[in-house]
Each structure stands twice: as structure tokens, then as C-alpha cells.
Structure 1
Amino acid sequence: MNLTETAGLVGVPIGVVGAVIATLAWRTSAGTRRDQAAAEATRRHREMRPDLAVAIDLRHGPDSGVLAVKLVGPREVERYDWIRVTVRDDKERPPPRTGSGVTLEAQQRQVWGPFWFRPGIEGGSEDHRSAEQGGKAVTDTWLFAIDRVLAPHWYSGGGAAWREDYKGAPMRLRIEVGLGDQSWVELLEIEQPRRSAYEDGGVTVA
């Protein structure tokens, strides 16, 4: 209680003063409980964050393969409800130049990176941009079909230039995993395996 509040109680019956003090104490206690509950919820959310091991498997060749997302942990959670993986573009781009023949919508639809998802397979979306699947238990692995991104027809230098530009570039991902009304997001860059990796039988997610 501050000095202003104390001054305002001068001449007020003791019972009323006691009631005011009790009310202020209750409000303080309620606020403390809310803070403690919020801190506990934050701690639990942090402890329940999924631990992921992610790799690209190109055992069948350099142009198509599997994105493997293994649910390594944590020990506090047995199973998660869903996963959504989205390809992030390699960088932000300014709007197309006027007269280039390229629309802003076409530029934004294009996936700018080495790989995209195969539509209709293992949860892949029609625009190649994302894939979503149901739940998995800890130690299980989600598998997503991926292919090399095709260059848009207006890309300078065509498909050959595109492949050269993205040779060795990482696959940039946004991975969201959900459980009940909670979800966790990871932003990752997954390196492409070396050519010898798929020639030798692919990449194993440990």
C-alpha cells in the first residue's frame, strides 16, 4: 500500500481498513499465483520441445529422395500429434523489374532452393511448398518425398543455370510439431549429402 492509499484511509473505521488491506493482499497473492503458473507453463513448454534429427537421403540418385525427420526426444513426451514442414526460400527477393514479364505472384509461388516436396505423396502440398503428416512416437521417423526444384521458365540461363546455382545449397526448412493446443517451431538448414553418400547407399538418420 503506498502513501496515497494510506492517507485516503485516515478517518475510516478500522474494520473497513482491514477489509481494504485484505483485498490488496488477495490481489497481490492472486497476481503472484498467476506469475508462478505462467512461469511453470513456460518451463513445461520448454521441456516438451521436440528434439529432431533431420537429414536428406538421396540413395536413389541426385534428383529425388527423402527428407527424414526423426523424433529423438524428449523423455517427457511419448508422442506428438502432427508435423508440418515448409520449405523456406533461400533469401528475400525484391519485386520483379517492370517489363521483365515476371509477375510478383509467380515469383512468390516459386520455391527458391534445391528441393521441394512431391505433391500428393506423404503429405506433400500441391504447390510443392509444404508437407504435413500425423503423429509419431519418440524414436520414430517421418519420411517426406522430395525432388529437385524445377527452374521457372523465366529463370536466366534455364535449368542448367538453376542447378549450378543451387548445387550444394542447403534445404531451408520451417518445422512445426504439435501436441494438443501447443506447438513448437524449428528453423533449420539441412545440408545436401555428398554424391558419394547416395552412391554408397544413402544417408542414415541416427
Structure 2
Amino acid sequence: MADVSWTDILSAVSAGLGVITAAIALGIARTANRTASLANQAAGRANATADSMAQVERDRWQYEMTPQFDVTITRLAPGTSQASLMLTFEGPAALERLDEVEIEIRNDGYTHGVGLAGEPTGQQIAETIWGPYRLVPGVDDATNDGRLSPAKPLELGGWLKRALEESLPPPWTERASWRVRYDGQPVRLWVRCRREGYRPWTLTYNVEVTNPAQDSPA
């Protein structure tokens, strides 16, 4: 058996220690990477949770700031074909003002399909106000079809007053049957509101049409 010198022994030991050191270093590096990955995942979850909580808070604030209106529609006189819509901005107090308030007449909620040849077209159906009243075209900048009152700014406690008239029956419908169809039905509205720093609000109202109050006899 050949003699083994101390130099060879030291070289072997040194090589072994180098392997061990490298293994330890590799283990430390892997542990560090796993720790960093877990930390990144935890940070990501924390950020996601924070974003989610912030969104919940924004949604809560948006909901709490939903504009509140009192909306009434009153005939100018019993039996008349004209009426007055009054929309009053009542709150919340913290909102103070709205940059835009837009009023739109909604249809009755039923589907009005296109008929066979010779019957109304899709455009004719879309142009029809399917409900008891429309805005008086041209008054307070109402659109020609009587459907939309353009956006106006409004301060807390302020009001918008709009003139209404009975809707017009389409050419293929008799006026008498049209009036019977919508007699006593509410006027359905969209009220769209905008304020800088908030998402837009779209509110719906079904407003009964009432006769003017009569003074009690003395």
C-alpha cells in the first residue's frame, strides 16, 4: 500500500470542506430565496387586502353620498293634459352640490317588438314614449322627442322644475286606447347625477301624477 503524504491528506480534507461549504452556501441561498418569495407573497397579499379594504371604503362612501331627491308630478289642473315635475335636491348634506343632474323619461318596462310587414319599425318603436307623460319639447331645453332634460348643476336645497304633457300615441294606435292604457300609471324616470371625485349615480323613480291641492273652504 502506497504511503499517503500529509499534503495529500490536507488536500483531501480541504476539498471536502470546500464541498461542505458550497453545500451550506447553496442551502443558505435556497433558504434566502424561499424566505424572499414568502415575504413577497405576504406583501402581495397584504397589498391586495389593503386595496380591497380601500375599495370597500370607497364603495361605502359612494353609497352614503348617493343624492336624495324629492320628486313630485302635479297636473296643472284636474283633467288637463299638462303637468309639472318638481325635483328637489334634499341631501346628503355633505354632498352640498351636484355638477350635473339629468332627467330622462323611461318607458313602461315592457318589451315592444317590431311587427310584421306594414307594422311599426324598430326606429318608430324607439322614438315612442311608452308611458303617460313626456317632457314638453323645447321647454327648458328638453329634447325634441320629449324624452330627455339635459344636465344642469344643482345645489343642496335647490330644485329643477320641468313641464310635462301627455305622451303622443304612435300613428298605429288610437288615441282613446292609448289614454286608457296609461291612465293612472306612474311616470318612470331616470335621474343621473355627477359630481367631481365620485362615480356617477343613476337613480330610478316611479312617480304618481297627482291633482293640485284644493284649498279647504273657510
What interval of TM-score do these two structures reach, taking the shorter chain for normalisation?
Answer: 0.7 to 0.9
Q: 1:84 aligns with which of 102, 111, 116?
A: 102
Q: Secondary structure of 1:168's match?
A: coil
Q: Per residue, is there more helix in 1 or in 2?
A: 2
Pick closer, same or farther for the CA change 1:10–1:28 going to 2, 3 Å: farther
- % identical equivalent positions: 23
Are positions 1:165 and 2:158 aligned together?
A: no
Which sits farther off after the overlay, 52-61 or 113-122? Answer: 52-61
Q: CA deviation at 1:59?
A: 2.7
Higher RCO, 1 vs 2 (CA within 8 Å, ≥6 residues apart): 1
Equivalent residue of 1:39, what SS?
helix
Q: Which structure would you say has the larger Rg?
A: 2
1:41 positional shift: 0.6
CA distance in 2, matches of 1:84, 1:42: 22
Match of 2:120 in 1: 102
Q: 1:41 aligns with which of 46, 53, 58?
A: 58
Task: Note closer, same or farther for the CA distance 1:103–1:76 as it changes in structure 2 (3 Å cut).
Answer: same
Match of 1:176 among 192, 196, 207: 192
Compared CA separation, residues 99 and 19, structure 1 to 2 (3 A):
closer
5+ unaligned residues in a row in structure 2: which ranges?
A: 1-25
Secondary structure, aligned partner of 2:200:
strand
Residue 140, structure 1, aligned to residue 140, structure 2: no
Q: In structure 2, what is the Cα distance between the partners aligned to 1:100 and 1:52?
A: 44
Q: How much has 1:199 moved relative to structure 2?
A: 6.5
SS at match of 2:101: strand
* Alignment partner of 1:54 out of 67, 71, 81: 71
Deviation at 1:151, TM superposition (A): 1.3
Task: Give 1:22 shift.
Answer: 2.3
User: 1:156-206 deviations in whole A, cap 9, x for unaligned?
Assistant: xx222222221111101111111125211122211111xxx32738xxxxx
The equivalent of 1:204 in structure 2 is: none
Relative to the length of structure 1, the TM-score reads 0.82
The alignment partner of 2:142 has SS state of coil
Work out the CA distance in 2 between the residues paired with 1:77 and 1:102: 45
Aligned to 1:4: none
Distance 1:199 1:78 in 2: 31
Q: What's the secondary structure of 2:73's corresponding residue? A: strand
* Residues 123 and 133 in structure 1, CA contact (< 8 A), matched pair in contact too: no
Report deviation, 1:108: 1.8
Note closer, same or farther for the CA distance 1:32–1:96 as it changes in structure 2 (3 Å cut).
Answer: closer
Q: Report if aligned partners of 1:59, 1:200 keep a CA contact under 8 Å in 2.
A: no
Conservation of the 8 A alpha-carbon contact between 2:136 and 2:163 = yes
Contact 1:59 1:199 in 2 (8 A): no
How far off its partner does 1:49 sit?
A: 0.1
